[in-house]
């Protein structure tokens, strides 16, 4: 491997969404040398993902309210004095050997580099849960989160007639976004019923502005005459080489598909579907922080205190990666994490820290009530997991089916890593990121719960790194040849 | 290019990328996945075990379903940025 000389910072922040940007800004303003690392070319994360710098708004505000929030966070970050490393993929994290702190290995267009810091704020956000169904691997089927990237950043419609399916606020945001951009929504298919939405209303009232925005989305969908099917699930994506239609069936509250009723059919050339968000805690798991399984928070989460400290000194987790609670809460958690890191490093006096943190905590309480209400719509539906047909591939990379997973358990696999070893499920290039949560949910049903089923061991590389980049460029003449061993 | 959103957005002048030797119009800054989808490509490669067509799924560099080659380097198409003359090969890394 090429030698990498580690540069130093006081605080490294991994991930440039609202949590990461606010963490890096807060730590820098408090006097710490903070460095934000993100693989994208600009800050924003998924929720505030910016269009390419070469794309311009035709009029101020044309990119929508989320773009404006993202722009203000990017401005605050630039003003804070925090250093940034965008276009930079963190592929390894480790405890710093021979010193207290952490090492982050990254690669960018210039090759490999390493950073060291006594404090690490993890702000890696969430990944989307998409529970498998027949045809979900067909071209033209995308995640709801993918659709938001297309709409917000790439300025691309997912298709000409798009079916929008799944659950949670993203469902409405994407359907409304497609319509607003001039696209055609073939139908909205929601796992939730009206009463499910009404149940989260009290929590959602904590942010009347966001609630009003959601209501406008629903009104827009209704005004366009778009079919809105509640308590329904997509049971198949149909088509030979690409999706051309979907089949739908009613579901029970827990997601169990009602196979007795005649399935409905909607013609479409794209399906965007998502079943909620799962906290991305690879980094804190690799580093060995204490985690627990918290279904209401979206899955496995790092245990943390009110200042976002994990069980490992110097390691903080902010934003959705620590439990799904939405963008507004993520920004505040990031700020709290950045301040706590600065305080723990001695850059910020204890009393000053308390003064700065107190108002943030109050605002966080409000933001959390809204975010948690929305998270309630995105929890895993056990009945939908149970309804995955036997012949459906669960692992997209290796085409491992539900039946193969069940068989591995029947033959004695007790947890997901044994299933992985026996079936290759989770061994493909995505490294189990797409199937990991589903496999665990499938196995959990057979072995007595999520804690027993466990999770795929988190490993580096966090993202695939081309071997050529790891090796670097060298001449054969430069390779040191060890002296032969004495005979 | 009907899938590209026109409303509210001003793009830079288009450039041309080379996809399996074919000229495809694209805009600097957008991802190669976007350029391919807008040009009507839906399947970027075949899955290694079942040989089924696959295209972009997550669009954030996680799923690796949109793996292509830019020059000789395998890279998810959603993470590669369009620039004039980029040479793209479909079919994953096989």
- pLDDT confidence of residue A2: 47
Q: If we measure between CA atoms, which residue out of A54, A192, A321 comes closest to residue B15?
A: A54
Q: What percent of chain A has pLDDT over 90?
A: 84
Question: Residues A294, A406: one domain?
Answer: no
What domain count does chain A have? 3
Chain B touched by A160 (CB under 8 Å): yes
CA distance B64 to chain A (A): 6
Instruction: With beta carbons under 8 A apart, name residues in chain A contacting B10.
Output: 55-58
Interatomic CA distance for residues B14 and A132, integer angstroms: 38
Containing structural domain, residue A441: 388-453
> Mutation test of the interface with chain A: which of B60, B76, B77, choosing the one with the most A Cβ atoms within 10 A?
B60
DSSP A151: I
A399–B50: do the CB atoms touch at under 8 Å? yes
Asked if A167 and A378 touch (Cβ cutoff 8 Å), the reply is yes
More confident residue, A486 or A145: A145
Question: Residues A348, A301: one domain?
Answer: yes
Q: pTM to 2 decimals?
A: 0.93
Q: Are strands A270-274 and A277-279 parallel, antiparallel or unpaired?
A: unpaired
Instruction: With beta carbons under 8 A apart, name residues in chain B contacting A180.
Output: 7
Instruction: With beta carbons under 8 A apart, name residues in chain A contacting B31.
Output: 154
pLDDT-derived band at A349 (thresholds 50, 70, 90) equals very high
pLDDT-derived band at A4 (thresholds 50, 70, 90) equals low
Question: Residues A266, A296: one domain?
Answer: no
Read off the tokens for B90: 């479909």
Chain A touched by B2 (CB under 8 Å): yes
Contact partners, residue A421, CB within 8 Å, separation at least 6: none
Which of A149, A157, A428 comes nearest B5 by C-beta? A157
Closest residue in B to A156 (Cα) is B4
Query: Residues A113-127: pLDDT tens digits?
Result: 999 999 999 999 999
A156–B4: do the CB atoms touch at under 8 Å? yes
Question: Residues A420, A321: one domain?
Answer: no
Q: CATH no. for residue A155?
A: 3.50.50.60
Q: Does residue B9 form part of some domain?
A: no
Interatomic CA distance for residues A285 and A270, integer angstroms: 35
CA distance A52 to chain B (A): 5
Q: Does residue A397 form part of some domain?
A: yes
Interatomic CA distance for residues A132 and A441, integer angstroms: 12
Containing structural domain, residue B76: 15-89
Chain A touched by B13 (CB under 8 Å): no
Chain A touched by B56 (CB under 8 Å): yes
Chain A touched by B90 (CB under 8 Å): no
A430–B56: do the CB atoms touch at under 8 Å? no
Closest residue in B to A155 (Cα) is B5
Calculate the average pLDDT of chain B: 92
Q: Does residue A467 form part of some domain?
A: no
Question: Residues A370, A423: one domain?
Answer: no
What domain count does chain B have? 1
Q: Hunting for tokens 């800054």 — which residue is that?
A: B29
Question: Residues A235, A138: one domain?
Answer: yes
pLDDT-derived band at A1 (thresholds 50, 70, 90) equals very low
Instruction: With beta carbons under 8 A apart, name residues in chain B contacting A468.
Output: 73
Q: Are strands A161-166 and A184-190 parallel, antiparallel or unpaired?
A: parallel
Q: CATH no. for residue A395?
A: 1.10.10.1100
Question: Residues A167, A119: one domain?
Answer: no
Whether omega for the bond prior to residue A461 falls within 30 degrees of 0, making it cis, is yes
Closest residue in A to B45 (Cα) is A139
Domain termination residue (choose one: A351, A375, A399):
A375
Q: If we measure between CA atoms, which residue out of A202, A210, A212, A173 comes closest to residue A190?
A: A173
Q: How far is CA A262 from CA A3, A72, A248, in A?
A: 63, 50, 9
Chain A touched by B85 (CB under 8 Å): no
Query: Residues A56-78: pLDDT tens digits?
Result: 999 988 998 889 999 999 999 99
Chain A touched by B60 (CB under 8 Å): yes
Q: CATH no. for residue B48?
A: 3.10.20.440
Q: Is the pLDDT of residue B1 over 60?
A: no
Number of residues in chain A: 487
- Which own/partner pairs from A49-53 qualify as long-range (CB within 8 Å, at least 24 positions apart)? A49/A148, A49/A149, A49/A152, A49/A153, A50/A74, A50/A153, A51/A152, A51/A153, A51/A154, A51/A155, A51/B9, A51/B29, A52/A153, A52/B27, A52/B28, A52/B29, A52/B30, A52/B81, A53/B29
Interatomic CA distance for residues A207 and B90, integer angstroms: 46
Residues 468-487 of A with CB under 8 A from B: 468
Question: Residues A202, A120: one domain?
Answer: no
Calculate the average pLDDT of chain A: 94
Counted across chains A and B, CB pairs separated by less than 8 A come out at: 146
Q: Is the pLDDT of residue A451 over 60?
A: yes
Give burial (CB, 10 Å; 0-12/13-18/19+) of A122. buried
Chain A touched by B84 (CB under 8 Å): no
A150–B59: do the CB atoms touch at under 8 Å? yes
């Amino acid at each position: 491997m090429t030698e990498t000389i580690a540069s130093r910072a006081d605080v490294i922040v991994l991930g440039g969404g609202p949590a990461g940007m606010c963490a890096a800004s807060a730590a820098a303003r408090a006097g710490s040398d903070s460095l934000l690392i993100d693989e994208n070319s600009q800050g924003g994360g998924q929720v505030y993902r910016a269009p390419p710098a070469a794309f311009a708004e035709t009029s101020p505000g044309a990119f929508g309210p989320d773009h404006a929030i993202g722009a203000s966070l990017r401005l605050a970050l630039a003003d804070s004095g925090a250093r940034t490393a965008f276009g930079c993929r963190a592929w390894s994290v480790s405890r710093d050997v021979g010193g207290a702190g952490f090492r982050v290995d990254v690669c960018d267009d210039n090759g490999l580099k390493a950073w060291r810091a006594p404090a690490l704020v993890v702000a890696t956000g969430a990944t989307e849960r998409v529970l498998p169904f027949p045809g979900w691997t067909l071209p033209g089927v995308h995640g709801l989160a993918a659709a938001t990237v297309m709409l917000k950043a790439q300025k691309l419609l997912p298709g000409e007639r798009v079916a929008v399916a799944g659950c949670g606020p993203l469902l409405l945001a994407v359907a409304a976004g497609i319509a607003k951009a001039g696209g055609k929504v073939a139908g909205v298919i929601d796992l939730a019923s009206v009463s499910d939405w009404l149940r989260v209303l009290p929590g959602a009232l904590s942010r009347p502005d966001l609630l009003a925005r959601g209501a406008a989305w629903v009104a827009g969908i209704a005004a366009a005459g778009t079919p809105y099917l509640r308590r329904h699930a997509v049971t198949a994506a149909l088509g030979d080489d690409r999706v051309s239609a979907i089949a739908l069936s009613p579901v029970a509250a827990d997601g169990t598909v009602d196979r007795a009723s005649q399935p409905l059919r909607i013609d479409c050339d794209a399906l965007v579907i998502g079943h909620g968000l799962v906290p991305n805690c690879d980094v804190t798991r690799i580093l060995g922080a204490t985690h627990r399984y918290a279904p209401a928070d979206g899955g496995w989460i790092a245990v943390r205190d009110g200042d976002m400290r994990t069980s490992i000194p110097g390691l903080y987790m902010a934003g959705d990666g620590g439990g799904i609670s939405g963008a507004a809460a993520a920004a505040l958690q990031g700020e709290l994490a950045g301040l706590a890191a600065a305080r723990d490093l001695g850059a910020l006096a204890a009393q000053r820290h308390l003064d700065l943190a107190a108002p943030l905590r109050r605002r966080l309480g409000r933001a959390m009530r809204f975010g948690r209400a929305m998270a309630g719509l995105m929890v895993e539906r056990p009945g939908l997991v149970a309804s995955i047909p036997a012949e459906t591939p669960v692992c997209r990379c290796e085409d491992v089916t539900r039946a193969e997973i069940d068989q591995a358990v029947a033959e004695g696999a007790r947890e997901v890593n044994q299933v992985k070893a026996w079936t290759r499920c989770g061994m493909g290039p995505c490294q189990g990121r797409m199937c990991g949560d589903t496999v665990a949910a499938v196995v959990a049903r057979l072995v007595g719960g999520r804690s027993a089923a466990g999770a795929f061991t988190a490993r580096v590389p966090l993202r695939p790194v081309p071997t050529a980049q790891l090796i670097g460029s060298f001449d054969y003449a430069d390779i040191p040849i060890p002296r032969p061993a004495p005979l | 290019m009907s899938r590209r959103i026109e409303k509210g957005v001003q793009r830079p002048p288009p450039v041309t990328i080379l996809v399996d030797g074919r000229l495809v119009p694209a805009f600097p800054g957008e991802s190669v996945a976007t350029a391919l989808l807008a040009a009507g490509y839906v399947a970027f490669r075949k899955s290694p075990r079942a040989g089924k067509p696959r295209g972009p799924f997550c669009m954030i560099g996680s799923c690796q379903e949109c793996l292509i080659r830019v020059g000789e380097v395998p890279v998810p198409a959603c993470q590669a940025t369009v620039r004039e003359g980029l040479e793209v090969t479909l079919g994953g890394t096989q």
